[in-house]
Structure 1
Amino acid sequence: MEPNLPIPDNYFSSYEDLEIHRLMLEDEPRTSTYRKAILNNKEYFKDKVVMDVGCGTGILSIFCAQAGAKKVYAVEASNLANLAKEIIKENKYENIIEVIHSKVEDVLLPSNIKVDAIVSEWMGFYLLHEGMLDSVVFARDKFLKEDGEMFPQNAVIYVAPCSVPNLYEKWEEFHGVTMSTFSKHLRSDKSHKPEIMQIRSVDLLGEEVALNWINLRDCTVEELDSYCVQHVVGANKNGRYQGICIWFECIFPELSSEERVILNTGPIAEPTHWKQTVILLPDEQRVEEKEPIAFKLDMNRDGKNSRRYNLQLTLLDPEEIEHPVPCCCDMTKCILINAVMKQQVKHAMDQRQIVNDSVLEEEPIDDE
């Protein structure tokens, strides 16, 4: 199956909808994480030149000015640039923040100056939906100093098997009527496109695996075209395997603060407007604890719309693919490998203890 999410033809004008920005601004983990990542690094931002790619309402640019930046170029392609100017003036930063109403690809800075840092909130569903990272990479290559910083600096997409009880269990007894047939057709229908929804941490059926790790300091647009992961994980409990859950993390640089700042959009984190992306199976599978769940997930940029990605999930036979080492599933080969590894660890610890005891016994005794 190749589900994808629609991208509006009027991509930039769609961001003029204030409801979208209200949703993003009121996303507490999103806004507070960016604020923390910037203001925690005041020593770094002091007297720096910054570019905010896709500034929207301008709030990240204002954070940079509050952190001491001497100049901020706030780039916004949509007509929201006019509102950003008003908000920046309202906060009395118009002498520091310059709003540029343009696509970043068309921007020319005075005297071709380079910036010290690029700040951007470019993430879409499952991280790459909408393809805005391409513009951030373009801005980095054209405007960022060689030793400049990216906020965020790294991003990771995670994948894990899951149950989706809030979609299906209600139909088993609905107002006194059994609707299992409806539920079956609903599953089939929803398996053709990803579902954006909030998954509870208790509904994850196994440890997550990283689909990719993106270093924004040196990644290329071409590298963003395609990702693939093949994985086997032992189920962490008895349950209904109903889909694959996808989420992401963004990691910010630690420059003048020792505290690592991470924006986590996973099921174990505080909910965000990104929620999680779930690829639903057309037929659920009942799994027992430690039973191996094997799958392959491909994420490929759409050939016709570069802002869209196609997600393809393939269910695999755990007997036929290589398992990670160590593996938590209950297949005989994995149990044996884990047992051998435990014996090796125990032997190494015993040998270390013998050496330590020997050293203690050989220490000279001072009779004085």
Structure 2
Amino acid sequence: MKMIKSFLTSCCCCCLVIQILLAAQSAAAAESKSFTSTTTTTTNIDHDDDTIPTFHTQDEQQKASDYANYFSSYADLYHQKIMLKDQHRMNAYYNAIMKNQHVFRDKVVMDVGSGSGILAVWAAKAGAKRVYAVEYTDMAKHARNVVKANGVDHIVTVIQGAVEDVKIPIEDWEAFNLQTEEDATDEECRDESMSCKHQQSQVVDIIISEWMGYFLLRESMLDSVIRARDMFLKPKSGILLPSHATMLIAPIMNEDQHHMVIEEYLEGMNDWNDYLVNAKKQYGVDMSILTEEYDKEQRDYYLKSSHYVQLDDDTILAPPIVVKTLDLAVCTLEDAKGVDEAEFSFDIESSGSGADDEEEINGFAGWFTVDFQSRTDEVGKQFGAKMTNPVHFSSSPEIGDTHWGHQVFYFTPAIPIQSNDKVTLDGTMEMIRSKQSARLYNVKFQYTIEAAADGSNNLMDMVESVYKIP
């Protein structure tokens, strides 16, 4: 209680903050029930129900909805420019390809979600004999122009469509001497069985894709990469770039941004209350019946959703903890659904020197890293190509801004930490796909707060918060 009292006495809007806290706790309890229910459902249903539905069903309405909500922005050059100007992103992919040209020489490459086509161009320039640049949106026409303008259109073919629907062009088998690792016999293929067609499509040596979303998994493009791997990649020797991925979290101090978020919530509610008065006075209509729902919308947006923030390195209060790792050569659609209950423990000490110095722990931040390296699974280590110049990419605050930013999950309220105190956060993090959209995720944190001050420890109750990643 000492910690909460200290915070409230230092807050100029203490009554309003108390109201926010009580409302958030009530909402968290309700959302936690929903989250638990969703988790139970996820573990008991077939994966197709919460993997991306667009391309392995014939539901045109789902396809149209997915295009409107996800793909449409990637058809704009403005959106592509944001990614192309991200130097950390571009350097990682460029170095992974151009510093490992021996891996690409005379190989068949597939670029999943090719966008402007720049990765496909690099693959061709690195020596690939054939590159399939797969792009679902009308950005494909721009990719064709880029490929032609860079003189590699005899190597790169741009295929507009979903990778799940792609077929290797029949004429390429002879023209580019395509081969599988396990050549099927003519007898096996006469019935044109699905298993034979699947086997005959595994002619790709390298799949390259920039599939990562906010906090790695948002957008769920990893599903398409996994399906492309299973359909097209040579299972023994084929490699994926990036090859491995890691998700991390850490506690942060980000007071100004956190306070701004709370102020925007309060301003929104004040504006609503002003509207109620005016509606009653000018039009004789009482709209206050909608206040509870309006407040819920505001809380969901400002207090119970993650926020996109470009954090500085000095905002991180403790070494980050890994909550999930992925080996792209062997991970499954089930692995792509989220993060199973991952444990964490953070010890945070105040950096203040004066007796009256007080700081805040404002929330958790999440980011990711990816690696472009040789395969590490047992089969891949034996047969896979060797990336002699591996590349590591991190979207962490220490490397500077990237277009992915950082996903911040703000506490309500912040946790104060006095000078010379130490706070320990022990708990778990879980992440699952939203019921509303398989491309979006919900994140649940459960943790205890232990404050050590003046030689005594104060253990607070369990905190449980559920956030949407919008």
TM-score (norm 1): 0.78
SS in 2 for 1:115: coil
| Partner residue, 1:215 | 327
**What is the SS of the residue equivalent to 2:152?**
coil
* Aligned position for 2:393: 263
1:195 corresponds to = 307
Check if 1:80 corresponds to 2:139.
yes
Change in Cα spacing, 1:310 to 1:9, as seen in structure 2 (3 Å) is farther
Greater displacement, 264-273 / 182-191: 182-191
* AA aligned opposite 2:448: L
Match of 2:251 in 1: 161
The C-alpha deviation readout for 1:180-230, integer Å capped at 9, x for no partner, is 995998999622111001111111111111110011000000122231322
Q: 1:314 aligns with which of 446, 457, 466?
A: 446
Decide whether aligned partners of structure 1 residues 58 and 170 sit closer, same or farther in structure 2, where only a CA change above 3 A counts.
closer
- Contact 2:136/2:161 (<8 A) preserved: yes
What is the Cα deviation at residue 258 of structure 1? 4.0
Shift in CA distance, 83/206, structure 1 to aligned 2, threshold 3 Å: same
Alignment gaps of 5+ in structure 2: 1-27, 36-65, 171-199, 270-297, 352-358, 375-384, 458-470
Residues 20 and 236 (structure 1), Cα distance of their counterparts in 2 relative to 1, 3 Å cut: farther
Correspondence list, 1:100-139, <5 A: 100-111=159-170, 112-113=200-201, 114-139=203-228
The 1:205–1:183 alpha-carbon spacing in structure 2 relative to 1, beyond 3 Å, is: farther
CA distance in 2, matches of 1:119, 1:18: 21
The answer as to 2:192 corresponding to 1:60 is no
Secondary structure (helix, strand or coil) at the match of 1:130 reads coil
Matched AA of 1:253 = Q
- After superposition, the C-alpha distances for 1:284-332 in whole angstroms (9 at most, x for unaligned) are 011255421223221101234211111122232559xxxxxxxxxx999
Given residue 191 of structure 1, which amino acid in structure 2 is its aligned partner?
L
Q: Does 1:148 align with 2:238?
A: yes
Aligned residues: 315
* Counterpart selection for 1:18 from 70, 73, 77: 77
Structure 2 counterpart SS, 1:234:
strand
* 1:256 Cα deviation after fit: 5.5
- Determine which structure has the larger helix proportion and give its number: 2
- Contact kept, 8 Å, 2:265 with 2:299, in 1: the verdict is no
CA distance in 2, matches of 1:248, 1:31: 16
The more displaced of 182-191 and 279-288 is 182-191
Q: Do the aligned residues in 2 keep the contact of 1:130 with 1:307 (CA within 8 Å)? A: yes
Residue pairs, 1:223-234, within 5 angstroms: 223-227=335-339, 228-234=341-347
Q: Taking structure 1 as reference, are residues 247 and 170 closer, same or farther at Cα in structure 2, changes over 3 Å only?
A: closer
1:286 to 397, 416, 427: 416
Would the aligned equivalents of 1:42 and 1:256 in 2 still touch at CA under 8 Å?
no
Task: Identify the residue that residue 94 of structure 1 maps to in structure 2.
Answer: 153
Q: Does 1:241 align with 2:300?
A: no
Match of 1:365 in 2: none
CA offset at residue 245 of structure 1? Answer: 0.3
**In 2, Cα distance between equivalents of 1:171 and 1:251:** 34
Measured in 1, the distance between the counterparts of 2:229 and 2:85 equals 28
What RMSD over aligned residues (CA atoms) do the two structures have, in Å? 2.9
Instruction: Give the aligned residue type for 1:206.
Output: A
How has the CA–CA distance of structure 1 residues 184 and 295 changed in structure 2, closer, same or farther, with 3 Å as cutoff? farther
Q: Is the 8 A contact 1:187 1:282 kept in 2?
A: no
- Segments of structure 1 that go 5 or more residues without pairing to the other structure are 173-178, 320-329, 333-368
Distance 1:198 1:43, change over 3 A: same
AA in 2 matched with 1:269: I
1:155–1:213 contact (8 Å) kept in structure 2: yes
User: 2:456 and 2:393 mapped to 1: Cα distance?
Assistant: 36
CA shift digits 1:218-251 (9 cap, x unpaired):
0000122231322111104343111100000010
Letter in 1 for 2:136: A
Using the alignment, how far apart are the partners of 2:238 and 2:260 within structure 1? 52
**How far apart, in 1, do the equivalents of 2:428 and 2:319 lie?**
15
Which deviations, in whole Å up to 9, do the C-alpha atoms of 1:39-96 show, x marking residues without a partner?
A: 1110110000000000000000011011110100000010110110011000011000
Secondary structure at the residue paired with 2:250?
Answer: strand
Amino acid at match of 1:139: A
TM-score by length of 2: 0.62
Moved more, 124-133 or 105-114: 105-114
AA paired with 1:124?
G
Pick closer, same or farther for the CA change 1:292–1:54 going to 2, 3 Å.
same
CA distance in 2, matches of 1:24, 1:296: 32
Amino acid at match of 2:310: Q
Judge conservation of contact 2:96–2:389 (CA < 8 Å) in 1. no
Q: What is the letter of the counterpart of residue 245 of structure 1? A: A
- The one-letter code sitting in structure 1 at the alignment partner of 2:256 is N
Q: What secondary structure sits across from 2:346 in the alignment?
A: strand
Q: Give the SS at the match of 2:210.
A: coil
1:297 to 418, 429, 451: 429
Q: For residues 291 and 184 of structure 1, what CA distance do their matches in structure 2 show?
A: 33
Q: Specify whether residues 90 and 241 from structure 1 end up closer, same or farther in structure 2 by C-alpha distance, changes over 3 A only.
A: same
Q: SS at the partner of 1:125?
A: coil
- Identity over aligned pairs, percent: 32
8 Å CA contact retained: 1:187, 1:280: no
